[in-house]
Amino acid sequence: MRMTYNLLSDTYFTALYTMPKLSFFHNLHILFIFLLLELSASIRQGENGRYLYNDDLGFERYCHYCPPVAMYDSENNVLYQEPRCFEKNYPFHLKCDQEELERKLLPVCRYGTLPSCFLHKMPEDGYWNCTSSFFHNKTSDGYHIPVYTMCQLTCEQGFSPTGISNIYCRENRHWDLNPNTVACQKSVSADEPGHRKVDRRERKKLLQILRLEKKLVNLKIAMLSEHKRQNINNILLR
């Protein structure tokens, strides 16, 4: 039993800390996701970590924005809520920002919507490699990356990042650097003699050519040896 806060009536009450009454497979799916949520979040100076909490096993988890079902149904209000997130974000008018207050985004639930930064679709000739092991919510025009996440631009072979390649999703849900200012450009050294990199498929083809050339050389040697042997036999027979 834990002391829980009622989001509907603005009062405290005691409630059993359990999972929602969902199907077995739904609960199993949620449990499986929870097991993958050990984060590699890195809080920076000036951030208080109000979107993170440690669960009963000591793992670091995210505080989520509560879904509508938790806001307008008293039973789900209790089942979805995480008291440790509530402690970090109450009183709301002091801890939450203006957007959260206006849209009633309260980060006090164990699952729901993640506080995140928006990242547009992957750049040309590269991709973003992010530190968070949490599921990245993909939309039609990009990704929602959890707060406290560091992303590094990794470019394809023959390309390199322009300028700074690391971006960080701050606690205010904004990137410390505009991702649109970072891109992959063709490396100058890629076309210079002596600096050309060979990928795995091309290397395999080159090895096949070298083996074939070696076989041809051995065949020529064998033919020359046979020709010499025949010439010696002809001389002896005279």
In the predicted model, is pLDDT for residue 20 greater than 70? no
Contact assessment for residue 63 and residue 116, using Cβ atoms and an 8 Å cutoff: no
In the predicted model, is pLDDT for residue 80 greater than 70? yes
Q: Is the pTM of this model over 0.95?
A: no
- Can you tell me the distance from the alpha carbon of 212 to that of 220, in angstroms, rounded to the nearest whole number? 12
Find the farthest-apart pair of alpha carbons in the chain and give their distance in angstroms, rounded.
Answer: 120
Ordered domains of the chain (ranges, CATH): 2-103 (no CATH), 116-191 (2.10.70.10)
Q: Supply the pLDDT for residue 8.
A: 43
Q: Supply the pLDDT for residue 22.
A: 46
The amino acid present at 132, given as its one-letter code, is: S
In the predicted model, is pLDDT for residue 237 greater than 80? no
124 vs 212, which has greater pLDDT? 124
Most confident of 23-37, 161-175, 185-199: 161-175
The mean pLDDT value for 23-32 works out to 46
The mean pLDDT value for 16-41 works out to 44
Report phi then psi at 42, rounded to 5. -125, 105
pLDDT band at 30 (very low <50, low <70, confident <90, very high): very low
75 vs 195, which has greater pLDDT? 75
Q: Supply the pLDDT for residue 73.
A: 75
Q: Supply the pLDDT for residue 37.
A: 42
The mean pLDDT value for 136-154 works out to 84
pLDDT band at 42 (very low <50, low <70, confident <90, very high): confident
Q: Supply the pLDDT for residue 31.
A: 43
pLDDT digit string (tens) for 94-135? 999 999 999 999 999 998 999 999 988 788 888 888 887 555
45 vs 53, which has greater pLDDT? 53
The mean pLDDT value for 204-222 works out to 70
